[in-house]
Amino acid sequence: MLDNSSMHLARLPLDEQLGALRELLTHNDVLLDVLQRSATLDLPNWYLTAGCVVQTVWNSLTGREPTAGIKDYDVFYFDDSDLSWEAEDVVIRRGAEVFGTGSSAQVEIRNEARVHLWYADRFGVSYPAYTSTEDAIDSFPAGTCCVGVRLGPEPDRWRIYAPRGLSDLFGLVVRPNPGRAPREVYEAKCVRWKQEWPELTILPWT
């Protein structure tokens, strides 16, 4: 039986933390369904990542419903063979078909190879091109959220990317990740997260 206390999980060795992460994520049936459906799309270098992953863990550790506070489910992939919007739109439309029946999730599918093409128009500053999906996850404004999961190649095999480890996630600590993400994005996210999960410890931008 998993000891779900936050501090206990934060102090586990990494290999045991990976097993604990998988167990906590299985509490969210919607997330599991998104993982399984995403795997059928056969997207290159894909991950389910960002808020839906870390917030499922926060919910599990704080006794909330598994889907509480989760706005959407982000599926990232990386395909630099065709950077046109039309190519990405084909994938998004395929995803809409896969998630259109029997799924309650709001799923956002995005090709991370294209982010630098639209970032300046949306946020007013230029942005270097990502080199992989992992590179995109590395750039999240909160290091705590730098976690991605996917299934495959075997159906019961989980692949987990967590470049900054899992101790902050399990310890309910939100740590900034200064780099490419703007400070104001981090601080705006933290305001919402603290309102939804007051148990979080928010560390200031440095």
Q: What is the pLDDT of residues 109-159, one digit of tens each?
A: 999 999 999 887 877 777 889 999 999 999 999 999 999 999 977 767 899
* pLDDT for position 204: 95
CA distances from 107 to 48, 90, 153, 182, 183 (A): 10, 15, 22, 24, 26
Q: Which tens digits make up the pLDDT trace of 155-204?
A: 678 999 999 999 999 999 999 998 878 899 899 999 999 999 999 999 99
| Strand pairing report for 148-151 and 47-49 | antiparallel
Q: At what angle do helices 85-99 and 29-40 cross, to 10 degrees?
A: 130
The model carries a pTM of 0.91
Express as a percent the part of the chain with pLDDT over 90.
77
Return the number of other C-beta atoms located less than 10 Å from residue 86's C-beta: 7
Query: Which tokens go with 4?
Result: 């779900």
pLDDT for residue 179: 80
Q: How many CB atoms lie within 10 A of CB 8?
A: 12
Angle between helices 51-62 and 14-25 (to 10 degrees): 90
Quick one: tokens of 200? 């979080």
